[in-house]
Chain A
Amino acid sequence: MKIVVCVKQVPDSAAAIVVEDGKVNWGDAPIVINPWDEYAVEAALQLTEKYGGDVVALSMGGDKAKEALKHALAMGCSEAILINDPELAEMDASGAAKVLAAGIQKVGDVEMAIFGKQAIDNDTGVTPAMTARVLGWPMISLISAVENIADGSIKAKRFMEEGNQIFESKLPAVASIVKDYSDPRYPSFMGIRKASRAEIPNLTAGDLGISKPENKVKWFGVDNPPVRDITNEKIEGETPEEIAANLVSKIMEEKVL
């Protein structure tokens, strides 16, 4: 079974992000593999460990995106491909989906394309579904476990707020993975060595036989969240009862209740 796992390079989740002139500035934040995508890589590796096959990591982005791919290789993916073309910069999710779908088709004979549930930079969470649409494959989202893969179909569990849903789908399909699937493994030292030596091929729009998809969504600007003015005050008192009474009168005074 051949699985493509799509990974994205994003600023570290602890990074302080600021908005300047309507544009997001990551500053010198460390760039890491999107944390949700680590779960996707883990799921893909576990599936090929169980059912056989290879995992190809696919990313779209500039040279920096190679780090996300190298992380995926160090975790155990057998191959990595980067779609790196300045022509394809600044795309919306539907554009990204078209490009990724072309990448998945270029790999060929893919039975599953696996994504993280969302990317922590834009947080739209729609790229997997849009990619499924472009490919014409079923979209199986928010997978927390795979029960079985046999005879060209997959039986899996979806994690939803209301509970779990067990379903079956035909393959090939696009899946997105949630945290409950399994903790992602650390890269192994052997994997690190392999990854650091790997030459990752760069594909352009031309190589994929596509032209730049037109953006459907326009970003007019991004704002910083409003600054919140917070003051802390410690409610004191001799006894717990007195502290509670002081707290209640403070709440009434501030008209919180």
Chain B
Amino acid sequence: MDFQLSEEHRMAQKMVRDFAAKEVIPVIQEWDSKQEMAPHFLPRMGELGIMGINIPVKYGGQGFDYITLGLVCEELEYADSSLRVVMSVHMGLNSMAVLQWGTEDQKQRFLVPQAKGEKVAAFGLTEPDAGSDVAAMTATAVKDGNEYILNGEKMWISLATKADHTLVVCRTDMNADKPTSGMTAFMVENARDGVTSGDIHGKLGVRAGSTGWVNMQDVRIPEENRIGEEGEGFKISMSCLDNGRYTVAAGATGLIKASLDASVKYAQERKTFGVQIAEHQLIQQKIAHMHRDHEMAQLLYLKAGWKKNLGERNTRETSLAKWFATEASFNAASEAVQIHGAYGYSDEYPVERFLRNSKGAVIYEGTNEIHQLVQAAYAFGWRKDRPLRKELPAFDPDVWQE
């Protein structure tokens, strides 16, 4: 057992922290109010290599391990959730799926430009009438010669209007015994005829990010864009979630830290009844809870990352980390607002943004109700992980950095 991060981990963490401190934190409030993504965020994340951090060098990435991905997400969400969301969809839900399930040709065509940050990637599973109940989806893909014709609407899609490639899941077999065995995954280039998209405004949080809809009307894509086999779409999307949820867990850990740091600072500035509010025990209790939760959330996601590095299945650990960290980050942000009193209720301080952002993460990538069902099912022994046709490759520094 070794709880030390390596020097490489610490240097990568510091590099992303410095980037966020210099280029994100000073301007984030402004973009959050505008409800737009700052135009420099995605290009800068690409240039700096963040968007390919844990992809092997031979596929255009930086060749770091899965733990570094977690550390990067923690640092990004310390600044703002919208940046971590980029990593969740671009890396966790899309690029890592290509790494896991893609053919060599697909890795060259999709993964390489994505890892270099030249192309931005998104993930479209949810539909207007199908969220937690994935099997209720209605988008279809019909085979026509060497092509598929896709129709349907995907909703609540992060980076909907920024992405070049969207990994979508559609129904291909209407007569499958179970709807989940009639689904197939496809990589859709957003520039294809028939693809339209738009952003949703008026969101509670992640306002400096893009969340929207992607509509597909008779979109023809070549067979070579099918990820995995026909009928494997549900399994693929669940494996994507093992990676997306990992980034959400790590990011939420950063949000707890941001709430903690803001609260520690404010509690030593604000005085009531002749003393700093830090001296009131009820304030101390809130700080203690935040610190405890930060440590716990970090340990949980690092354990999941460690399992990923070893190439071991981590659905259970990742779900637990996501459930715990996002719930704790919502509580931490709420208590941070409380510690700031009325000032916390205004955008003069960042904590109201933390609270608004934290609410999304208890909904997306499996609502926290769903995660509790998952955890209970494992505990009862009702749920067992079966081997996948293709597992996420274990981290091997020699292969990844060649």
- A257 CB within 8 Å of chain B: no
Contact (Cβ within 8 A) A186 B12: no
Contact (Cβ within 8 A) A192 B15: yes
Q: Looking at A70, A71, A186, A196, which has the most chain B CB atoms within 10 Å of its CB?
A: A186
Chain A window 56-75, contacts with chain B (Cβ cutoff 8 Å), 1 for yes, 0 for no? 00000000000000110010
Give Cα distance in the complex from A188 to B12, angstroms.
Answer: 9
Chain B window 3-38, contacts with chain A (Cβ cutoff 8 Å), 1 for yes, 0 for no? 000111001100100110000000000000000000
What is the distance, in angstroms, from A210's C-beta to the closest C-beta of chain B? 31
Q: Count A/B pairs, Cβ under 8 Å.
A: 36
Contact (Cβ within 8 A) B8 A196: yes
Contact (Cβ within 8 A) A189 B7: no
Contact (Cβ within 8 A) B48 A192: no
Contact (Cβ within 8 A) B48 A186: yes
- B332 CB within 8 Å of chain A: no
Contact (Cβ within 8 A) A192 B8: yes
Give Cα distance in the complex from A74 to B18, angstroms.
Answer: 14
- A256 CB within 8 Å of chain B: no
Residue in A70, A74, A189 whose beta carbon sits within 8 Å of that of B49 in the complex: A189
- A190 CB within 8 Å of chain B: yes
User: Main secondary structure on chain A at its contact with chain B?
Assistant: helix
Residue in B6, B7, B19 whose beta carbon sits within 8 Å of that of A70 in the complex: B7
Give Cα distance in the complex from A186 to B14, angstroms.
Answer: 10
Give Cα distance in the complex from A74 to B8, angstroms.
Answer: 10
We find that the number of chain A residues with CB closer than 8 angstroms to chain B is 12
Q: Looking at B15, B49, B63, B401, which has the most chain A CB atoms within 10 Å of its CB?
A: B15
Residue in B6, B11, B53, B63 whose beta carbon sits within 8 Å of that of A187 in the complex: B11
Give Cα distance in the complex from A193 to B65, angstroms.
Answer: 12
Q: Which residues of A contact B18 (CB under 8 A)?
A: 186
What is the distance, in angstroms, from B197's C-beta to the closest C-beta of chain A? 31
What is the distance, in angstroms, from B83's C-beta to the closest C-beta of chain A? 15
Contact (Cβ within 8 A) A192 B19: no
CB-nearest residue of chain B relative to A193?
A: B8
Give Cα distance in the complex from A3 to B286, angstroms.
Answer: 52
- A93 CB within 8 Å of chain B: no
CB-nearest residue of chain A relative to B48?
A: A186
Contact (Cβ within 8 A) B53 A189: yes
Give Cα distance in the complex from A190 to B8, angstroms.
Answer: 10
Known: A192-B8, A195-B11. A186 touches B62 (CB 8 A): no
Contact (Cβ within 8 A) B11 A190: no
What is the distance, in angstroms, from A55's C-beta to the closest C-beta of chain B? 18
Give Cα distance in the complex from A206 to B280, angstroms.
Answer: 58
What is the distance, in angstroms, from B19's C-beta to the closest C-beta of chain A? 6
Give Cα distance in the complex from A74 to B19, angstroms.
Answer: 15
Contact (Cβ within 8 A) B401 A193: yes
Contact (Cβ within 8 A) A187 B401: no
What is the distance, in angstroms, from B397's C-beta to the closest C-beta of chain A? 9
Contact (Cβ within 8 A) A186 B8: no
- B110 CB within 8 Å of chain A: no
Task: Give chain B interface residues in 211-234, CB to chain A under 8 Å.
Answer: none
Give Cα distance in the complex from A187 to B53, angstroms.
Answer: 14
- B395 CB within 8 Å of chain A: no
CB-nearest residue of chain B relative to A188?
A: B49
Give Cα distance in the complex from A195 to B12, angstroms.
Answer: 11
Pick 29 A–B contacts, CB within 8 A, sort by A: A70-B7, A70-B11, A71-B11, A74-B11, A186-B15, A186-B18, A186-B19, A186-B48, A187-B11, A187-B15, A188-B48, A188-B49, A189-B12, A189-B48, A189-B49, A189-B62, A189-B63, A189-B64, A190-B49, A190-B62, A192-B8, A192-B11, A193-B8, A193-B401, A195-B11, A196-B6, A196-B7, A196-B8, A196-B11
Q: Report B's interface with A, CB cutoff 8 A.
A: 6-8, 11-12, 15, 18-19, 48-49, 53, 62-64, 401
- Besides the known contacts A187-B11, A189-B12, 17 further A-B residue pairs in the complex with CB atoms under 8 A apart: A70-B11, A71-B11, A74-B15, A186-B15, A186-B18, A187-B15, A188-B48, A189-B53, A189-B62, A189-B64, A190-B62, A193-B8, A193-B63, A193-B64, A196-B6, A196-B7, A196-B8
| Closest CB pairs A-B (n = 6) | A189-B62, A196-B8, A196-B7, A192-B11, A189-B49, A186-B15
